[in-house]
Amino acid sequence: MSQIDIEGSARLSAVIANFKTRPASQSWERVPCGDSSQQILWAWYKPSHLPFGVVVNIPDETFRSYPQRQQLTLRTVLSWLGLEPGCVWQWTQYGVTYDAQQGASAYFDQPLTDPVPGVDSGIAISLLAPTMPVAPPAASTSAPPFAPMPSGTVPSDIGDLFENIDTDWKAIVKAERDLALCRKKLVDTLSRLGSLNRDLNHEEQLFADTADKAAWMDARRWLRETASRVSRYLKDCDVGDTTSAPKRDWMKQTYEQYIVPKQVFDGIQHAQREFEGYRKMVQTLFVNMNGAHASAVSDGERRAHQVLARIAAKVRKTKN
């Protein structure tokens, strides 16, 4: 290995080690674009669905005002984040996953696509974890980043590891189906909450007493709060679909290639922890989304309907 190769490998190892010690973001972090104080991007480091990666959102204004538009590439974005192509395993944008090819992918130098209105343009970048090999070779980009384990190094609890990963994967698939159904319910509920959150019409204003009007103001406050909660979990679900795609693809490939045929591989303990963590993440999201739906129905819709029904009864009684 040449001196240049050694220095390059050491530099990449240092970048990965620094990223490992970096705390996870608690909210979107502002990152300046090079030396410019006017142009920025937003980064979320180590979200729960991408524990060794970063999600990047580039504002429309940065796309419009960047002076050398053809130079706004993923390589450039990585440099602003203090990262390098050689640290990347793969990345996903607009539902398409790109293999980094040990940092040699030509897509690192392609100008980034302008954002499409109404479409999430976030880039989910998955880095090489310290326990992974440098990168999967370009000739087998579809394979998980593991290799069969040499004979004589099989863990003593290998049966439990296979069983736990199998159980976690099946639970993940079920939770994802539940999430899809719950998401549809939340979208419908959010629409109803928006329709209910209105001013009293002329007739209702005329016959409602002071207590009714106060109750309606309180009901509208509940409608706003429950709608905000529903919107937040819908966003969490949609962001998770985008940013966790590389990890889910990796788990699916690992499950099919190694777990189903019970092929022991190097890193199976790490894989079991990844499967377990992802399973907990999707199940927790489902519980939160289901709770948001129940709260929206009971605290939002039902409360509003009760107040409106009481006012409507007074309107009918007065007319009769």
Rounded Cα distance between 231 and 71, Å, is 35
Q: What is the pLDDT of residue 141?
A: 35
Which of 71, 77, 74, 84 lies closest to 34 in space, CA to CA?
77
In tens, the pLDDT along 259-314 reads: 999 888 777 888 888 888 888 888 888 888 888 888 888 889 999 999 999 999 99
Same structural domain, 118 and 187: no
Q: What is the pLDDT of residue 246?
A: 76
Q: What is the pLDDT of residue 137?
A: 34
Q: What is the pLDDT of residue 6?
A: 52
Cβ-contact 189, 293 below 8 angstroms: yes
C-alpha triplet 143, 176, 144: angle, nearest 5°: 10
Q: What is the pLDDT of residue 263?
A: 86
Q: What is the pLDDT of residue 8?
A: 60
Rounded Cα distance between 31 and 161, Å, is 40
Rounded Cα distance between 289 and 122, Å, is 22
Same structural domain, 276 and 166: yes
Pairing mode, if any, of strands 53-57 and 40-45? Answer: antiparallel
Q: What is the pLDDT of residue 89?
A: 87
Q: What is the pLDDT of residue 149?
A: 43
Q: What is the pLDDT of residue 130?
A: 57
Whether the pTM exceeds 0.95: the reply is: no
Same structural domain, 33 and 117: yes
- Which segments of the chain have a pLDDT < 70? 1-8, 37, 95-96, 116-119, 129-156, 240-243
Average pLDDT across the chain, whole number = 82
Cβ-contact 265, 258 below 8 angstroms: yes
Same structural domain, 127 and 200: no
Same structural domain, 213 and 309: yes
Domain boundary among 105, 136, 167: 136
Same structural domain, 125 and 182: no
Same structural domain, 102 and 183: no
Q: What is the pLDDT of residue 265?
A: 77
Phi, psi dihedrals of residue 272, rounded to the nearest 5°: -60, -40
The total number of structural domains that make up the chain: 2
Rounded Cα distance between 278 and 49, Å, is 7
Domain range for 80 is 3-14+23-136
